[in-house]
Amino acid sequence: MSHVSEIMESMEYGPSVEDSSAVRDWLARQGTFGHFIGGTFTEPDTTFETRDPATGEVLARVSQGTQADIEAAVAAARQAQGPWAALSGSERARYLYALARHVQKRERFLSVLESLDNGKPIREARDIDVPLVARHFYHHAGWAELRDSQFPGLTPLGVCGQIIPWNFPLLMLAWKVAPALAAGNTVVLKPAEYTPLTALAFAQICQEVGLPAGVVNIVTGDGATGAALVQAPVDKIAFTGSTEVGRGIAQALAGTGRRLTLELGGKSPFVVMEDADLDAAVEGVVDSIWFNQGQVCCAGSRILVAEAVADRFEALLSFRMSRMRVGPPLDKSTDVGAIVDPVQKDRILSICRAATEAGAELVGGQAQEGCFIAPGYLKNIAPANPGMEQEIFGPIATLSTFRTADEAVELANNTRYGLAASVWSESATVATDLAARIKAGVVWINSANLFDAAAPFGGYRESGYGREGGRSGMLDYLAEALISARPEEALQRVSATPSGDAPAPQGIDRTAKLYIGGAQKRPDGGGNYAVPGGVAPLGNRKDIRNAVEAAAKAGKWAAMGGHARAQVLFYIAENLSARAAEFAARTSRAEVEAAIGRCFHYAAWADKFDGANVQAKPGHLVNVIPEPLGVIGIACPNAQPLAGFLSLVLPAIAMGNAVVAIPAQNDPLAVTDLYQVFDTSDLPAGVVNIVTGARDELAVPLAAHEEVAAMWYCGTSDGLAAVDRAAAGNLKPVWAPAARDWTGPDAQGETFLRHATRQKTIWLPYGALPAGSGSAAY
Ligand code: NAI
């Protein structure tokens, strides 16, 4: 036995292993697990092992879900959904509260089980994951209570399929199950094959609290089980996992009109400015990428440090790294636990090998016996090095330098992902400037990896779409209930007539042109097509490319601010009203009235769609800011061409986006004349671009274009399938607003604004210093 004085000398820790006997007894009692379907566990059939990655020991056998299992689970969920949705909000709230309480009562059990199955340090499971799981159920008990008053006119989606990864098994379950249930949906959840055990323990908690049978169903299995769930008749898929699988799911759902949210990979920047508190930033690296074996989608895996402080920062970083304790996950003094599986360990090591072969230098990061890798970082690494581009998903960061804030932003945004960012500077001006310019769904200022049920989480670009947490997370589990639904008009054939040669019936408008970059343009091929009342230009792919290019240059519109944009929209209303009779002759009085109404509506919203300041953790100010997406592609409805066009284009531009719109194929002339209204209303060039022609032929290249951030499509399910497939390539969200009366009240409102924006969640320290730590004594 060492003396205290000796321990003080060496600062060594003795082992302090959490007792796992209760969990092991439970596992021994269970033996082999079936699926949890319709409130009971099925008899196991084909099974596979789940192991403790730290020791390789088999913990349990679980069932491999088949298509039949998925079908049974979806049927149980379907049957349960009506009665579940028919409960009052308060009744649903009580069930969610009971789930929260039971999770809390079993915090120790669940933490140990999670640590055993996943390999993460018990400190992470106990201090972060499981308390957040309880927090999610409490928070959403609140949303269940408030659903009807806070989300009027919205209804649950139905049955939701949820597929989750292995890095936060129980926490991801809570992120997905709690909002779905609060909104009135039922779920079929598939946990990751490496880490199914806490989901099965949660199924038992559902039984204990008497959750109605079929409200939560859990089917275990691998990717094939997940793929069967994607194919099943569910109303939504919520997926967290790799970008590659997410892209495949988006393609598999093409044309189904089912809702999809994706939370995918990341390669998040961790930016350390010259004036940062370097010790705090080093602790940020520990929290962000080392403490959890780097198995976090939002880990700050690309450390970018100001050149002026780079040497000092690296000295502090490598010293701190040398003190990290890699070891048994259940030991309370372990910092870095086991990698989830040998396959994942090999993957991490092979990316590190490729990185060093391409010239980078690896500091630390040694592979150890079993599923362990010591923390490390890659330095002297070029931007195109595989270690810089690929998500390593292990405890290995990259370290590179920059000279100016502009360069830091450029490097931070030089990735196909956009999940999160961590920014370190003692200057509020510098830190918030970076937060505004970095393209990521979550930005932590002088902090890293903070999560809360009230704070929306989700990505930009190839990190996916949709948000989990808070009000926006709830909205992703609710649907509009349309009172004025009506079928879309069938398309008439488009056949080209050469420009200038078209026979000119009486009264024809021969001047109709495309509207690109604030100017009228002839279509690239020069052709026209016959439409009621004249001929319209027949645009092609090249016109779409030109229009997107013009839209991408209209960035200053976003920077103008809501008030300035509102003035332009009011002005459009005034100018449209001055020409009301002329537009009514092309369409109808009702359409023109609706069009003017839309201008007023979105002028009103332009400076009022505010975002929120949410109640997350004390000591932080958490702002949720709606940002424009950039360029939105819009394929407009065929019916009610003027009202349909403006009902979609105006909310998009009110929020600061630029649009490329394809007006009603059958009757585009009601819209081509709008260019005069836009010009006289001081709408900047490129904010609205109009390309007429065959809707579906234009919509596909528009949806596929890299510069287009989101696509809205009104049309047929075949057309939607083609658009979905084109958009899945670079993972952009597609919204297919249901056909409705475009002159009616259903054709405006916050739903449109929500689709026109994406949220950035910014965490700022706020009142976080302990009393007496201020610098001034007075
Ligand atoms: P994965 O994306 O293959 O697995 C995630 C979940 O999807 C699991 O439940 C899996 O069974 C399921 N799945 C797999 N193929 C499917 C398919 N075709 N259809 C439906 N569901 C399917 O991730 P994996 O292989 O476990 O990890 C590979 C890489 O993915 C990691 O190295 C990391 O880069 C990334 N990843 C990202 C995560 C995140 O939180 N964003 C979490 C886990 C992994």
Dump pLDDT digits (tens) for 348-381: 999 999 999 999 999 999 999 999 999 999 999 9
Residue nearest to ligand 1 atom 13, measured at CA:
223
Instruction: Dump pLDDT digits (tens) for 532-565.
Output: 888 999 999 999 999 999 999 998 999 999 999 9
Class of domain 269-458: alpha beta
Q: How confident is the model at residue 416 (pLDDT cuts 50, 70, 90)?
A: very high
Any ligand 1 atom below 6 A from CB of 517: no
Class of domain 500-615+627-747: alpha beta
Instruction: Dump pLDDT digits (tens) for 87-116.
Output: 999 999 999 999 999 999 999 999 999 999
Any ligand 1 atom below 6 A from CB of 252: no
Q: Say what the pLDDT of residue 48 is.
A: 98
- With a cut of 80, say whether residue 7 has pLDDT above it: no
Average pLDDT over residues 594-619: 96
Q: How confident is the model at residue 492 (pLDDT cuts 50, 70, 90)?
A: confident
The domain spans of the chain are 22-264, 269-458, 500-615+627-747
One DSSP character per residue, 415-478 reads: SS--SEEEEE-S-HHHHHHHHHHS--SEEEES--S---TTS-B--SGGGEE--BSHHHHHHTTE
Sheet holding 534-537, edge to edge: 496-497, 528-531, 534-537
Average pLDDT over residues 372-391: 96
| CA 147 – ligand 1 centroid, Å | 32
Q: Say what the pLDDT of residue 510 is.
A: 53
| CA 167 – ligand 1 centroid, Å | 10
In b/e form, how buried is each residue of 579-616, taking b as 16+ CB within 10 angstroms? eeeebbebbbebbbebbbbbbbbbbebbeebebbebeb
> Does the active-site annotation cover 697?
no
- Given the residues 124, 145, 193, 263, the one annotated as active site: 263
Instruction: Dump pLDDT digits (tens) for 180-236.
Output: 999 999 999 999 999 999 999 999 999 999 999 999 999 999 999 999 999 999 999
Average pLDDT over residues 256-278: 96
- With a cut of 90, say whether residue 15 has pLDDT above it: no
> Does the active-site annotation cover 297?
yes
- With a cut of 60, say whether residue 406 has pLDDT above it: yes
Sort strands 32-33 and 58-63 into parallel, antiparallel or unpaired.
Answer: parallel
Q: Say what the pLDDT of residue 213 is.
A: 98
Q: Name the residue of 245, 343, 391 to mutate for ligand 1: max ligand atoms within 8 A of Cβ.
A: 245
Any ligand 1 atom below 6 A from CB of 167: yes
> What is the pTM assigned to this prediction?
0.95
Residue nearest to ligand 1 atom 29, measured at CA:
242
Any ligand 1 atom below 6 A from CB of 245: yes
Any ligand 1 atom below 6 A from CB of 196: no
Q: Say what the pLDDT of residue 3 is.
A: 75
Average pLDDT over residues 676-687: 97
Any ligand 1 atom below 6 A from CB of 264: yes
Name the average pLDDT for the chain. 94
Q: Say what the pLDDT of residue 395 is.
A: 97
Q: Name the residue of 48, 63, 129, 163 to mutate for ligand 1: max ligand atoms within 8 A of Cβ.
A: 163
pLDDT greater at residue 240 or residue 499? 240
Name the residue type at position 445: I
Work out which ligand 1 atom sits closest to the CA atom of 229.
20
Q: Say what the pLDDT of residue 772 is.
A: 65
CA distance linking residue 260 with residue 736, whole number of Å: 12
Judge contact between 282 and 289, C-beta under 8 A.
no
Domains 269-458 and 500-615+627-747 share a fold: no
Average pLDDT over residues 58-73: 98
Average pLDDT over residues 42-71: 97
Sheet holding 259-263, edge to edge: 40-41, 36-37, 216-218, 186-190, 159-163, 236-240, 259-263, 464-465
Q: Say what the pLDDT of residue 6 is.
A: 76
Partners of 623 in the β-ladder:
613, 762
Any ligand 1 atom below 6 A from CB of 393: yes
Instruction: Dump pLDDT digits (tens) for 709-765.
Output: 999 999 999 999 999 999 999 899 999 999 999 999 999 999 999 999 999 999 999
- With a cut of 60, say whether residue 776 has pLDDT above it: no
Any ligand 1 atom below 6 A from CB of 237: no
Helix, strand, or coil (residue 734): strand
| CA 245 – ligand 1 centroid, Å | 6
Class of domain 22-264: alpha beta
Q: Say what the pLDDT of residue 739 is.
A: 94
